[in-house]
Amino acid sequence: MWEYKTSVKWSGGEAADIRCDGKPTLDITPPPEFGGKKDRWSPEDMLVGAVESCVLLTVLYFVDKMKIGMTSYESEAVGRMERTANGLRFQGIDIVIRTVVQAEEDSEKMAKAVQQAEKFCPVSAAVECPVGVSVESTVASA
């Protein structure tokens, strides 16, 4: 079993520090639409970023395992939240990945690596709303 620990200290108003031992402290506010500041991470941003970065790291694991010639990886993620009868609820998180690979066969392998990552990414699996992942791979010109 592994444990991940964070701590929060309220600093008055709607501001708070979130700490994780030995790592940069983050200032957190609500999203701007709920009275927070635009230049700080919100918990909603952190949730989307946690899923997106975990998908990357899980893809990297399969890229290595499947010996895929990948030279570049970028992704964009968007989480959608709506007001429901039960309060604010995330409806889904979608991640669009773009990679550059060395050969056509790497492109096919990459699609499989992303499918595996969708299945095995622990943060994505920890999220109740649907998480959609798509990948577009470009073969680098020789």
Q: Is 1 in the site for a copy of itself (CB under 8 A)?
A: yes
Question: x/- site string to a copy of itself, residues 65 to 84, per CB under 8 A?
Answer: -------xxxxxxxxxxx--
Whether the Cβ atoms of residue 15 and residue 27 lie closer than 8 Å to each other: yes
**Binds a copy of itself (CB under 8 A): choice among 42, 101, 133, 137:** 42
Span of 15-23, 106-114, 132-140 interacting with a copy of itself by CB under 8 A? 15-23
**Binds a copy of itself (CB under 8 A): choice among 52, 110, 118, 137:** 52
Side chain identity at residue 117, one-letter code: A
Q: Determine the Cα–Cα distance for residues 106 and 100; give it in Å rounded to an integer.
A: 9
Identity of the residue, 87 or 142, whose beta carbon is nearer to a copy of itself in the bound complex = 87
Smallest distance, Å, CB 141 to a copy of itself? 20
CB atoms under 10 Å from CB of 124, counted, come to 20
Q: Determine the Cα–Cα distance for residues 15 and 27; give it in Å rounded to an integer.
A: 7
Q: Determine the Cα–Cα distance for residues 116 and 59; give it in Å rounded to an integer.
A: 8
Q: Determine the Cα–Cα distance for residues 42 and 48; give it in Å rounded to an integer.
A: 10
Smallest distance, Å, CB 130 to a copy of itself? 11
According to DSSP, the residues that pair with 38 across neighbouring strands are none
Question: x/- site string to a copy of itself, residues 104 to 133, per CB under 8 A?
Answer: ---------------xx-xx-xxxxx----
Smallest distance, Å, CB 70 to a copy of itself? 8
